[in-house]
Structure 1
């Protein structure tokens, strides 16, 4: 019993660190700034959309024994491969992994070492990432046992200083829909998208620890998810409060990165830059390690190991090294439409996977997924300046969830359309 509790804590710590990237460091303080005295209400919405959706994704992966493809399989073979690859490329070498290195350089290195070469830093960052990723069975232990405690200590020093020495009075909220804004900010972290891939690493680690039964793996994953969720709850809450304490000092025009840098400097002076650098470096490194390993495992499984894990993670690190030198703002700029496209259908399939045993008709999955993709495309068109009135008039549009009602309607229609290839029926026949 003692061993299983230790393993749950290690896996939970690793999940916390892999979720907590530098982007997560930026959102909560800004949310606190704009919500002021109502920061707790905004924070509640943030936790619901961020941690809540992420835990659902982790559980869905656990239910599928760590195989990402199974989450998408009932939407159709071709679509499942396309979505799976799109997600892994997005959260892998195209967007998320390069952003971790670029963010570390811009927030953690440049403020301390003005003349440090960005390319040299990228080489060092991805050399460390590759070194700690090349053996997938060790990824969770390395992060959970060593990197996460260091990250937590650095974060708690910053938050503790802000709690015991508040920087200022907390002003009333500058916005009206506080809870809605919290949900929107949590949604924008895109942690649930990352959770789909990170869950595969967790299951691999749990299996390598000797827990081979599906029920054991699901139970440990669930408990580890609670550990990670509790850590995120405390850290996000502390950072949101820090933002609220400077609500008299900054307005909404301040950049999110500039806000956290300023808070750190005001609390800790010049050493604050060093502590922030450590926090950002650890947060980004743990996320890069987790996502690189997840990408390697996915493509190795997809190709029946024709593409070796070691080869994939090496290519991912090299490609990410190049992309990271475009800078954070450039990466974010071209990432937005891609993420808008893949996020809604992913969440739809995650939720449906959790209740899939009770859904016999594959057309429920297919119709709902295509509806989510269709609304995503309209959202992208609208974001590029084309007038699409129906998008803004859909229910929940103000929260960024305008795809929910169309998906629900499509799922109901799919339920009444007979499926020719019912995956659930096939599985039942095989088990019989």
Structure 2
């Protein structure tokens, strides 16, 4: 395979894997279940807030070669630093990291209920720390190793959802609020701010 094509493929897979977090397994299912007959519109709302805004963020950062400081420079030096600090905190200890741990633990606990959450969280953070200790290899590991595992997991989830249909009981039809509901859930994935962490690596 051509070297440029290979690097492009790995970068694309890495961008997909970095953007696809725990929220992307929770909120789309929620939108589909609560959307009911209006799930098409709620799904469009989700994709607008999640996929479209994330892509626009990636494209915008590409004009600055992934340099987040230059991208936020119009806000001023100190406001830009505060914005980046808030993003790092949301993507780390105050938002995404706890959600990833709890969602992953929920899946593991179904198979191994005897594993305590604290032990799982310790192992999860240890593995993550090991991967981050060698940042030069992070892109290759995420793009070439973790992404196929992620895609396989998504395929299994879709297969299971199609084989075992689920209808949310006691849910009121969303009606004209379907798009707005989907848009709100899409924002909660936090993918649009995740690009500030992923793009400098890519």
Q: TM-score, normalised by structure 2?
A: 0.88
Compute the RMSD of aligned alpha carbons: 2.4
1:139 counterpart = 2:138: yes
Cα deviation for residue 169 of structure 1 reads 8.2
Q: Which moved more, 1:24-33 or 1:88-97?
A: 88-97
Change (3 A) 1:131 1:168: closer
Aligned partner of 2:199 in structure 1 is 199
SS of residue paired to 1:140: helix
SS of residue paired to 1:74: helix
Aligned partner of 1:21 in structure 2 is 21
Higher RCO (C-alpha under 8 Å, 6+ residues apart): 2
2:38 and 2:59 map into 1 onto residues whose CA distance is 31
Aligned partner of 1:111 in structure 2 is 110
How many residues are matched? 200
Aligned partner of 1:121 in structure 2 is 120
Cα deviation for residue 166 of structure 1 reads 5.8
Aligned partner of 1:187 in structure 2 is 187
User: 1:24-60 deviations in whole A, cap 9, x for unaligned?
Assistant: 1111111111212222222112111101111111122
Cα deviation for residue 152 of structure 1 reads 0.7
Misfit runs of 4+, over 6 Å: 168-173
Q: Which runs of 5+ in 2 are unaligned?
A: none
2:104 and 2:47 map into 1 onto residues whose CA distance is 25
Question: Considering only CA atoms, is the larger Rg found in Structure 1 or Structure 2?
Answer: 1
SS of residue paired to 2:65: coil
Report if aligned partners of 1:72, 1:80 keep a CA contact under 8 Å in 2. Answer: yes
Task: Give the alignment of 1:192-271 within 5 angstroms.
Answer: 192-202=192-202
User: 1:260-311 deviations in whole A, cap 9, x for unaligned?
Assistant: xxxxxxxxxxxxxxxxxxxxxxxxxxxxxxxxxxxxxxxxxxxxxxxxxxxx
Q: TM-score, normalised by structure 1?
A: 0.43
User: 1:313-366 deviations in whole A, cap 9, x for unaligned?
Assistant: xxxxxxxxxxxxxxxxxxxxxxxxxxxxxxxxxxxxxxxxxxxxxxxxxxxxxx
Report if aligned partners of 1:37, 1:170 keep a CA contact under 8 Å in 2. Answer: no
